[in-house]
Chains A and B, each alone.
Chain A
Amino acid sequence: MDCNGVRQHAGSAIDGFLANDVEHEFQAHLERCKPCREEVTLEKLSKQLVRRHVSWIPTPRSIQTLVVSSLHQEYKDAGWADDSWVARVTRSRILVPVLAGGAVAAAFFLMVGIPSDQSSNLSAHTAENDIIHQSFETFALLKAGQLVPAMVSSAPESVGRFFQRSSLQFGVQIPDIRGCDWYGGSASDNRGVKQAHLLYKLGDEWVYVCEMNGDDAMSGVQLSLPLAAKIALTRSGWYTDPTHPNCNVVVWKKDEVVCVAVSTMGKKRLLALLTPQ
């Protein structure tokens, strides 16, 4: 081995990675070549100094905690931001039967829209064009799993984001109902009449809210409200059926948007939820 060979293998020799036969040649050269010996000694010194003086420091506990906490925060954020329908279904025992039972209906729901009056140019108030009646029907289908919301999320913010992306031409009111297990949303367009559908699941209870442009509800031809409801909304902005105290429906009008809430829970509790202090 010559001086060039020694330079080439010096690092490996110092780090103990040299094969035995090469090592032998390497050492033989060093014994007879002072400049190479000195150079290798100096390089070895460099390694020794680093190993001696630059100590290996275990990560301080405070930094370990910081890293693990920040990862956990990311984990939680991922939960909030998780908009994957499949992921939600797989983690939700409630939604599995809903999806199974409603796959076909979902397509119908998304393509055709919430069942509403199929005839056009209706001006008279009938059971078919009654928004409250339709809301009860839709609610029953949702509970039975025959209709599935287009989006479901455990994050209430997702509902707002969903409707921001939709092409609805009115500002959807999103009731601040706390403590829900999940939130669902859909938008429908039935021959120009656009509606927003919100579904809240709170333990065993359900709340469904159907919303539409005030003009469509109050003076439209495809949708209608009972006269008493129209008068109450005009006067106070709120309507509940006074003749049926157990009828769990609440209608309100805000910012030119009419909302109809139907629920499994009693009217009193529903009103309390929809009008948080």
Chain B
Amino acid sequence: MASLRQPIVSRGTKKKHAEFEAEALPHMDVLYNFALRTAGNADDARDLLQETYLKAYRFWDKYEKGTNIRAWLFRIMKNSYINRYRKETKEPDKVDYDDIENFYNSIRAQSTDPNDLQQQLYGNLLGDEVTKALQSLPDDFRTVVILCDIEGLTYEEIAEFIECPIGTVRSRLHRGRKLLQEKLYEYARQQGIIKGD
């Protein structure tokens, strides 16, 4: 039979819809920014955001009222991202930390003054380059850097978002920032913004 009329939605469904809109929609900007930084472009961010909200809506009954809804939405988005792009998430411990330490050693060997470096990088790097460097971080590092440095969340909030101890948040943030510095430094060196071998 053809569709004959508009549906009559039950009171329970109406209530659910109203509750969901009131609680989940205010976090759209946070999610969109995370999607944008994670997916790397506006189209994918849009799809990821839409998918996240639809999944959250369908599984609204699973959300434990009174808990951190932003963290819940964020986890849905993170899982959606992993599933969507079927990325092999690189475990933080598998990143070669020695490479990062070498970066510091090389700076020291070149007697590069971090204050000069700061001025050179701060003044000459473009947004796209920083975004690109951020994008190239392994997922777990990028996530904590985005949540802390862009979204301004506390370590406790980030720990809840990624369901890890605060110590892990600190560690990933520290390493993530170092990886980012290395990438930016390398980029600046290639562009001649700073001198180096």
Binding site for B on A (CB under 8 A): 7-8, 10-12, 15, 17, 35, 37-39, 41-43, 45-60, 63-64, 66-68, 70-71, 74-80, 82, 84, 87-88, 90-92, 154-157, 159-160, 174, 176-182
Contacts and interface: CB of A to CB of B under 8 A. Distances in A.
Nearest to A9: B170
Contacts of B9: 75-76, 78-79, 82, 91
Interface string B171-197: 001100110110010000000000000
A63 B2 contact: no
A174 B149 CA distance: 61
B130 A58 contact: no
A75 B8 contact: no
A76 B57 contact: no
Contacts of A156: 1-4
Given A11-B170, A43-B177, A154-B8, A38 B114 contact: yes
A42 B104 contact: yes
B53 A71 contact: yes
Chain A at the B interface: mostly helix, strand, loop or mixed? helix
A269 B85 CA distance: 57
A55 B1 contact: no
A53 B126 contact: yes
A45 B7 contact: no
A63 to B, nearest CB: 5
B5 A154 contact: yes
Which of the listed residues A41, A177, A181 has the most CB atoms from chain B within 10 Å of its own CB?
Answer: A41
Contacts of A12: 155, 170
Q: Which 5 A-B pairs have the closest CB atoms?
A: A79-B7, A87-B10, A79-B9, A53-B130, A46-B177
B32 A57 contact: yes
Contacts of B11: 87, 90-91
Interface string B111-153: 0001101100110011101110010000000000100111100
A53 B131 contact: yes
Contacts of B130: 49-50, 52-54
Contacts of B63: none
B180 to A, nearest CB: 5
B43 to A, nearest CB: 10
A57 B39 CA distance: 14
A35 B108 CA distance: 8
A11 B174 contact: yes
A178 B54 contact: no
A42 B53 contact: no
Contacts of B3: 156-157
Contacts of B5: 154, 178-180
A178 B178 contact: no
Given A63-B32, A90-B10, A47 B177 contact: yes
